[in-house]
Amino acid sequence: MTRLIFLGPPGAGKGTQAALLAKDCEVPHISTGDILRSAVTAGSELGQKADHYMSAGELVPDELILDLIEERLGQDDAQKGWLLDGFPRNVPQAEFLQKLLEQIEQPTDFVINLDVADDVIVARLLQRGRKDDEESVILNRLEVYRQQTEPLIEFYRNRQQLVSVDGNQTMDAVYADLKRLVME
């Protein structure tokens, strides 16, 4: 079974790498964005609550995200493993996730941190050409990441769960490193 959490700054390649690895490991790639969209589409009670916030252009509260994660990890396809991407985003979410995983007896194998230098992140995101990918916005997103999400690196390092992978390589080289790590 494969149960991994992906961390890294925006533009590090978490989603791309997690999707590739999930396919090879035959487990679901679970991202908070996908969970929110699926719950809204399904019209579940949690989805309707999430839709209320999303339609108003507001952030979906942590409590609701946590409920959606719990619901998603309880689904049949997640029983043989999963790759979490974009969650947890802060230490309180990580603490909740630890308790939840103990409760449902699905411990994390390890947490992968895609380590990428800021200048590489900025260059990658500028190349994507999305309208919200201008340099000032990217630098702000990196600052928010440093403040809110980067403390997770220390959180998981203290639990001997963190493995860093050099994300400054080509996509194929990063994937080869990840595959070696997971398939060993």
| pLDDT (tens digit per residue) in 138-153 | 898 898 889 988 999 9
**DSSP string of 158-182?**
HTT-EEEEETTS-HHHHHHHHHHHH
Residue ranges in the chain modelled with pLDDT below 70: none
Is 14 labeled as catalytic in the residue annotation? Answer: yes
Amino acid 86: pLDDT: 83
| Angle (nearest 5°) at CA 100 between 52 and 53 | 10
Whether residue 91 contacts residue 152, with contact meaning beta carbons closer than 8 Å, is answered with yes
Strand intervals (E) in 25-103: 29-31, 81-85
Strand, helix or coil for residue 80: coil
| Token pair for 53 | 């916030």
Tell me the one-letter amino acid at 181. L
Catalytic residue among 23, 80, 99, 128: 128
Can you give the pTM of this predicted structure?
Answer: 0.88
Catalytic residue among 37, 124, 141, 157: 141
Alpha-carbon span 4 to 20, nearest angstrom: 13
Amino acid 41: pLDDT: 92
Question: Please, how many CA atoms are within 13 Å of residue 165, restricted to the half-sphere of its CB?
Answer: 30
Catalytic residue among 89, 124, 157, 179: 89
Alpha-carbon span 110 to 141, nearest angstrom: 25
Is 128 labeled as catalytic in the residue annotation? Answer: yes
Is 180 labeled as catalytic in the residue annotation? Answer: no
Is 141 labeled as catalytic in the residue annotation? Answer: yes
Amino acid 128: pLDDT: 85
Strand intervals (E) in the chain: 2-7, 29-31, 81-85, 110-115, 162-166
